[in-house]
Amino acid sequence: MKDLRIAIMTVEMDLHAYAVRKALRDRHGAVCHIVETDCFADSGRLTWSPTESFAPTLPAREGREIDVRSLDLIWWRRPNGTSWQPPHGPKMPPGVTDEVAVDIIAKDCKATFTGIMLNEFRGVWINNPEASRNAENKLWQLRAATQAGLRVPRTLISQDPASIREFCRSLNNNVIVKTVTGTYKVPLSPGKVDEALLASDESLRLSPAIYQEKISGNRHLRIQVFGDQIHAALITCDQLDWRFYLNKSTVEPYSLSSDFESRIHTVMRLLGLRMGIFDFKLTPEGDPVWFEVNPQGQFLFIEGLSEVKLTNVFTDFLANEVVGQRARAVG
Amino acid sequence: MKKETMKGLLPAVMMFVSALSATQPATAASNQETQGGQTPAVLRFKAPTEFPESEKLQQYVNGVASETGYIMRAPVGGPHCATISGSDGGWDDSDCF
C-alpha cells in the first residue's frame, strides 16, 4: 500500500511489536514506528503547542521522532507506560532517584503523551483508547456478553461475605474465585473456593473478587478477532488454567458456528472494539462458555503453537483498516 | 553523584514540592498497618513459580526474535509465561489499567 504509516504504542521489549513491524514492512511496505511508552523520560521528544508553531511529536525507537499528524493508524497496545520488568513503572535515568521526581516525571510524560494523541491524531485507532479501557473492565464485558446472548457462567462480583457465601452454597461451592483486574506484582491463578476461604470475613471484605461457577472440561477456546475476521484456536489442557501449562497443552485451529461468530461480533460492537482476544471454555457437551475478552490480548503464542499465521492476518487487517478509512474520506 | 548533577536531573516543577513530600508517609506501609497484614481472598492462589514452555514455542520465539532484531533479555522471574499478569514474561494480556 502506498505511504502506509503506522505506530505501535507499547512498552520496551515487546516481541509482538517487533513481529508486527516486520510483517507490515515486508507485506505492505509500511513505515512502522515502535513507541515505547515506558521510555519517555529523558527522551527530549514529547512536544505539543496549541498553535502550529511546534509540531506535535513523540519519540520512537532508534532515536526517531514522529509527527503524530503524519500517522494513518495507531496500534494502541500498551499505552500505559507500565514496564514488564520490575518495578513495573516507567524507566528513569539512573540519576533520578527521588520518589517525588519519579512520580512527576511519569505522570507528566503520560499526560502529555495522552494529550498529544487525543488532540492531534486523526487516523485509525486499534483500539479506540476509551473503548479499550472500558472493555478491560470485567463487569462491563460480562454485561456485553450477556446482552449478546452468549452463555456466561453464573457469576457474583462482591466483597460482601454473606452474599459470597450464599452464592457459593447455591452452587455447592463448585465455584472459582479470581481477581477483577490482576496485578503485575505477582502472577495469580484462579482458585477453587473452599470452606476455609469462605470462613474469613476479613479476607472476603478487603476487596471484591469474581466468584464464578466452575465449568468442567479440558477444552478451551482462544479466539482472535481482527475486524470482521475470526480465528479460533482450541487449547486442550487438563489443568484449570492452561496459561501455566502450555507445555502440557495442544493448540489447533477450530471452527466456530456462524451463530456463535455473530454473537462475538455483537460483543465487539457493544464494546466498541476492532480487535479483541476472547477466552471461552467448552462444556463436555461442546457449548462455549464465556470467560473474558482481552482488548489487547496476546496472539503470537497461538501462532507459535498452532502455526496459524496470525501475524500476517493481523497486519493485513491493520492495512485494510487504513484502506477503509481512506475510501471513506474520498467518498 | 554530585549534588549539582542530581539537581539537574529533577524536573523543573519539582523544585517547589520536594520538602513537602518528604514528610508524607508511604501509602503501602499505612495500608499494611490498618489491615493488620490481611490479604484479599484471591491472593491465596498464587501461580506456580515456573512456567515451562514447550520446546516448539521456545523455538518459535527464538525464530521471531532472530528475524526481527529483537534482543532476548534474560528472564527476570523465570521463563516466559503465556498471558499471565505478573509473570515478567512480556506476554501479559492486559495493560493493568
Inter-chain CB proximity A19 and B38 less than 8 Å: no
Q: Which tops the pLDDT comparison, A282 or A243?
A: A282
In tens, the pLDDT along A144-180 reads 999 999 999 999 999 999 999 999 999 999 999 999 9
Q: What is the mean pLDDT of residues A248-266?
A: 97
pLDDT score of A164: 98
Name every chain B residue with its beta carbon within 8 A of the beta carbon of A104: 11, 13-14, 17
Inter-chain CB proximity B92 and A84 less than 8 Å: yes
Average pLDDT taken over every residue of chain B: 57
> Which pairing describes strands A124-126 and A73-76: parallel, antiparallel, or unpaired?
parallel
Asked if A207 has any chain B CB less than 8 Å from its own CB, the reply is yes
Q: Are A125 and A74 in contact (CB under 8 A)?
A: yes
pLDDT score of B80: 43
In the 8-state DSSP scheme, what is residue A32? Answer: E
* Residue A41 within any structural domain of the chain: yes
Determine what percent of chain A is predicted with pLDDT higher than 90. 85
Here the cell at position A215 is 465449568
pLDDT score of B72: 64
Residues A104 and A189 in one domain: no
pLDDT score of B22: 33
Strand partners, A58: A66
Query: In sequence order, what DSSP letters do the residues of B11-80 get, joined into one string?
Result: -GGGGGTHHHHTTSPPHHHHHHHHTTT---GGGG-BPPS--PPPHHHHHHHHHHHHHHTPPPPPPSSSS-
Residue B17 has pLDDT above 50, yes or no: no
Q: Closest by alpha carbon to A97, among B11, B6, B23?
A: B6
Q: What is the mean pLDDT of residues A287-295?
A: 96
Residue B88 has pLDDT above 70, yes or no: no
Shortest distance, CA A300 to any CA of chain B (angstroms):
9
Q: For residue A236, report the phi and psi dihedrals to the nearest 5 degrees.
A: -100, 120
Residue A176 to residues A289, A291, B14, B40, Cα–Cα distance (Å): 14, 12, 47, 15
Asked if B19 has any chain A CB less than 8 Å from its own CB, the reply is no
Domain ends where: A79, A105, A122?
A122
Q: Are A221 and A254 in contact (CB under 8 A)?
A: yes
Residue tagged 492495512 (cell numbers): A319
Asked if A8 has any chain B CB less than 8 Å from its own CB, the reply is no
Residues A242 and A203 in one domain: no
Shortest distance, CA A33 to any CA of chain B (angstroms):
13
Length of chain B in residues, anyone?
97
Residue A119 has pLDDT above 70, yes or no: yes
Looking up residue A187, the CATH number of its domain turns out to be 3.30.1490
Q: Which tops the pLDDT comparison, B37 or B25?
A: B37
Looking up residue A223, the CATH number of its domain turns out to be 3.30.470.20
Residues A51 and A100 in one domain: yes
This complex has an ipTM of 0.90
Q: What is the mean pLDDT of residues A228-244?
A: 93
Among the partner residues B9, B11, B73, nearest to A95 by beta-carbon distance: B9
* Residue A227 within any structural domain of the chain: yes
Residues A101 and A33 in one domain: yes
Rg (CA), chain A: 22
* Residue A226 within any structural domain of the chain: yes
Name every chain A residue with its beta carbon within 8 A of the beta carbon of B11: 101, 104-105, 108
Determine what percent of chain B is predicted with pLDDT higher than 70. 34
Residue tagged 498529544 (cell numbers): A116
Residues A42 and A112 in one domain: yes
Give the whole-angstrom CA distance, residue A314 versus residue A275: 9
Range(s) of the domain holding residue A171: 154-213
Q: What is the mean pLDDT of residues B35-52?
A: 78
Residues A290 and A264 in one domain: yes
Residues A163 and A223 in one domain: no
Q: What is the mean pLDDT of residues A216-240?
A: 96
Lowest mean pLDDT among A42-51, A262-271, B42-51: B42-51
Strand partners, A232: A223, A254
Asked if B15 has any chain A CB less than 8 Å from its own CB, the reply is no
Give the whole-angstrom CA distance, residue A290 versus residue A112: 37
Asked if B62 has any chain A CB less than 8 Å from its own CB, the reply is no
Residues A293 and A191 in one domain: no
Give the whole-angstrom CA distance, residue A60 versus residue A21: 13
Substitution target from A98, A167, A211, A220 for chain B, most B beta carbons within 10 A: A98
Q: For residue A247, report the phi and psi dihedrals to the nearest 5 degrees.
A: -75, -15
Q: What is the mean pLDDT of residues A254-262?
A: 98
Residues A261 and A276 in one domain: yes
Residue A247 has pLDDT above 70, yes or no: yes
In tens, the pLDDT along A28-64 reads 999 999 999 999 999 999 999 999 899 999 999 988 8
Substitution target from B24, B45, B53 for chain A, most A beta carbons within 10 A: B45
Q: CA nearest B32 in A: which residue? A: A206
Residues A252 and A290 in one domain: yes
Inter-chain CB proximity A244 and B67 less than 8 Å: no
In the 8-state DSSP scheme, what is residue A44? Answer: -
Confidence tier at A88 by pLDDT (50, 70, 90) = confident
Looking at residue A199, its amino acid is A
Asked if A18 has any chain B CB less than 8 Å from its own CB, the reply is yes
Shortest distance, CA A29 to any CA of chain B (angstroms):
15
Substitution target from A107, A184, A222 for chain B, most B beta carbons within 10 A: A184
Look at chain A and report how many structural domains it folds into. 3
Q: A329 Cβ partners below 8 Å, 6+ apart? A: none
Residues A193 and A97 in one domain: no
Give the whole-angstrom CA distance, residue A15 versus residue B82: 13
Q: What is the mean pLDDT of residues A228-257?
A: 93
pLDDT score of A37: 95
| Cβ neighbours around B97 below 10 Å, total | 12
* Residue A134 within any structural domain of the chain: no
Residues A12 and A54 in one domain: yes
